[in-house]
């Protein structure tokens, strides 16, 4: 402490450069980079910017009063327990609720197969810690969720992209050669981020069967599954796995159905995997906040989500439809895009000669923002792609922003 004080106090007031600590970063830390989305969001803080960049849930869907009442009730009736340390595995009634909810959807899991985590992003980090060594081979959709790529990259894996098409991941592409030695496949079967695509039932069954035959674990990330506003609901991969369910690790979150500020999610997996994840979490944050877990359980335990989710789905349905109608009207015929049945995103493919990063520079100059597609690729990026989010943008601003993008794209024709 004295040595540090001496260094600080010995600096001359005339020094031009600010004090910088002498710190040798680890090789892992040197691999860290800022999220492309987070950097773009700095631009969108200006109120005049129409932002299609963020993957933020619609604030109009946050049940503020219900959540406030739940916290009040927990503190009034069980405050001391709520403010105390808790088990790393999570609040037992909430773990039971999650298990019951998954089982109603066709899974077969027990509460001791559930770990409550501080949001899905922590789930990804913990899985990276316990499953990835430097150079480990992991399979990812092409393109894939940027947050997962950023999280896994900290553990320096070898990414192997799995081809996709308009129907999402192609199960037949996972050959024995492709899967050989892979630690896992990471996939988002429902309204995938970034593309908005959904795997149909035939592909889901084929994927689960193929992975079981190859001994390939699947990480099924499903943050958007409850946000379906069109088409027919599809069973989760964990539910389809049946007796092979030990091969599927499922991630879920309360961020999209209640509010992301709660930072609450879960992992459902075989008990041996949960045990190892618990050890990793103990070294990270001991446990997910007890008060938050107890309050969320108070919100969901009597069926509130069944009443609440139709309102949230309608917000996304209306704004998604508005964006699709605007794109149909404003974009040239040389552009293609996905038509999601749920979630928050759609994926745009431009003519090959258009670089969406350059398009973004022009768009920001006219107060419109989006996310270029290149960062979502673990393999060779496609610079002519981009992601649009409609979740937090009012309809009149959606129409105005898409009109600006359409004019900019037409300039390249």
**Domain extents in the chain:** 34-55+306-411, 66-302
Q: Work out the angle at residue 197's Cα, subtended by the Cα atoms of residues 57 and 374, and round it to the nearest 5 degrees.
A: 80
Q: Are 369 and 360 a contacting pair, CB within 8 Å?
A: yes
Q: How far apart are CA 26 and CA 342, in angstroms?
A: 41
Task: Determine the pLDDT at residue 2.
Answer: 33
Q: DSSP of 108-142, one letter per residue? A: ---GGGEEEESSHHHHHHHHHHHH--TT-EEEEES
Task: Determine the pLDDT at residue 133.
Answer: 97
Q: Residue 389 phi/psi, 5° resolution?
A: -115, 135
Give the β-pairing of 385-389 and 371-372: antiparallel
Residue 155 tokens read as 């553990």
Task: Determine the pLDDT at residue 367.
Answer: 95
Task: Determine the pLDDT at residue 21.
Answer: 72
Task: Determine the pLDDT at residue 64.
Answer: 98
Q: Work out the angle at residue 343's Cα, subtended by the Cα atoms of residues 311 and 122, and round it to the nearest 5 degrees.
A: 105
Task: Determine the pLDDT at residue 7.
Answer: 32
Task: Determine the pLDDT at residue 242.
Answer: 83
Q: Give the chain's radius of gyration (CA, Å).
A: 23
| Residues facing residue 371 across a β-bridge | 387
Q: How far apart are CA 229 and CA 310, in angstroms?
A: 9
Q: Residue 165 phi/psi, 5° resolution?
A: -140, -160
Q: How far apart are CA 164 and CA 182, in angstroms?
A: 18
Q: Which of 226, 154, 144 is nearest to 188 (CA)?
A: 144
Confirm or reject CATH 3.40.640.10 for domain 66-302, answering yes or no.
yes
Give the β-pairing of 137-141 and 158-162: parallel
Q: Is cis: bond before 143, omega within 30 of 0?
A: yes
Confirm or reject CATH 3.90.1150.10 for domain 34-55+306-411, answering yes or no.
yes
Q: How far apart are CA 80 and CA 73, in angstroms?
A: 12
| Residues facing residue 204 across a β-bridge | none
Enumerate residue ranges in the chain where pLDDT < 70. 1-20, 34-39, 41, 44, 243-244, 413
Render pLDDT for 337-376 as a digit per residue (tens, 0 to 9): 999 999 999 999 999 999 999 999 999 999 999 999 999 9
Q: How far apart are CA 27 and CA 98, in angstroms?
A: 38
Task: Determine the pLDDT at residue 35.
Answer: 65
Under 8 Å CB-to-CB from 378, ≥6 apart: which residues? 140, 142, 143, 144, 149, 159, 160, 161
Q: Which of 309, 259, 257, 267 is nearest to 288 (CA)?
A: 267
Render pLDDT for 168-212 as a digit per residue (tens, 0 to 9): 999 999 999 999 999 999 999 999 999 999 999 999 999 999 999
Q: How far apart are CA 216 and CA 247, in angstroms?
A: 7
Give the β-pairing of 168-169 and 218-221: unpaired
Under 8 Å CB-to-CB from 304, ≥6 apart: which residues? 63, 66
| Residues facing residue 182 across a β-bridge | 137
Residues composing the chain: 413
Query: For 18, which DSSP code?
Result: P
Q: How far apart are CA 104 and CA 186, in angstroms?
A: 24
């Amino acid at each position: 402490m004295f040595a540090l004080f001496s260094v600080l106090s010995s600096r001359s007031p005339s020094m031009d450069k600010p004090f910088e600590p002498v710190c040798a970063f680890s090789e892992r830390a040197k691999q860290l980079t800022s999220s492309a989305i987070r950097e773009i969001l700095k631009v969108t803080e200006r109120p005049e910017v129409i932002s299609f960049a963020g993957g933020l849930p619609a604030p109009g869907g946050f049940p503020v009063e219900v959540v406030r009442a739940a916290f009040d009730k927990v503190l009034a009736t069980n405050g001391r327990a709520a403010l105390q340390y808790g088990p790393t595995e999570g609040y037992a009634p909430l773990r039971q609720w999650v298990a019951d909810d998954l089982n109603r959807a066709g899974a077969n899991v027990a509460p001791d197969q559930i770990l409550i985590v501080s949001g899905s992003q922590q789930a990804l980090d913990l899985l990276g810690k316990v499953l990835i060594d430097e150079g480990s081979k992991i399979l990812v959709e092409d393109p894939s969720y940027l947050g997962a790529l950023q999280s896994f990259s900290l553990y320096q894996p070898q990414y192997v992209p799995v081809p996709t098409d308009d129907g999402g991941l192609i199960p037949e592409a996972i050959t024995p050669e492709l899967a050989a030695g892979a630690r896992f496949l990471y996939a988002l079967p429902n309204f995938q981020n970034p593309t908005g695509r959904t795997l149909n039932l035939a592909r889901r069954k084929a994927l689960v069967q193929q992975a079981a035959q190859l001994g390939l674990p699947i990480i099924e990330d499903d943050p958007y599954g409850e946000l379906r506003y069109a088409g027919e609901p599809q069973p989760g991969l964990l539910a389809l796995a049946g007796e092979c369910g030990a091969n599927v690790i499922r991630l879920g979150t309360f961020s999209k159905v209640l509010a992301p500020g709660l930072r609450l999610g879960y992992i459902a997996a075989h008990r041996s995997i949960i045990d190892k994840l618990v050890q990793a979490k103990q070294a990270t944050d001991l446990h997910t906040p007890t008060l938050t877990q107890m309050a969320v359980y108070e919100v969901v335990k009597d069926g509130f989500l069944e009443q609440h989710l139709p309102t949230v789905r309608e917000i996304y349905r209306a704004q998604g439809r508005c964006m699709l109608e605007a794109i149909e009207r404003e974009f040239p015929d040389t552009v293609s895009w996905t038509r999601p049945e749920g979630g928050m995103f759609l994926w745009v493919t431009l003519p090959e000669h258009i670089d969406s990063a350059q398009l973004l520079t022009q768009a920001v100059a006219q107060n419109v923002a989006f996310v270029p597609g290149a960062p979502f690729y673990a393999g060779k990026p496609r610079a002519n792609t981009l992601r649009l989010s409609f979740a937090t943008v009012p309809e009149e601003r959606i129409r105005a922003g898409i009109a600006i993008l359409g004019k900019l794209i037409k300039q390249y024709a």
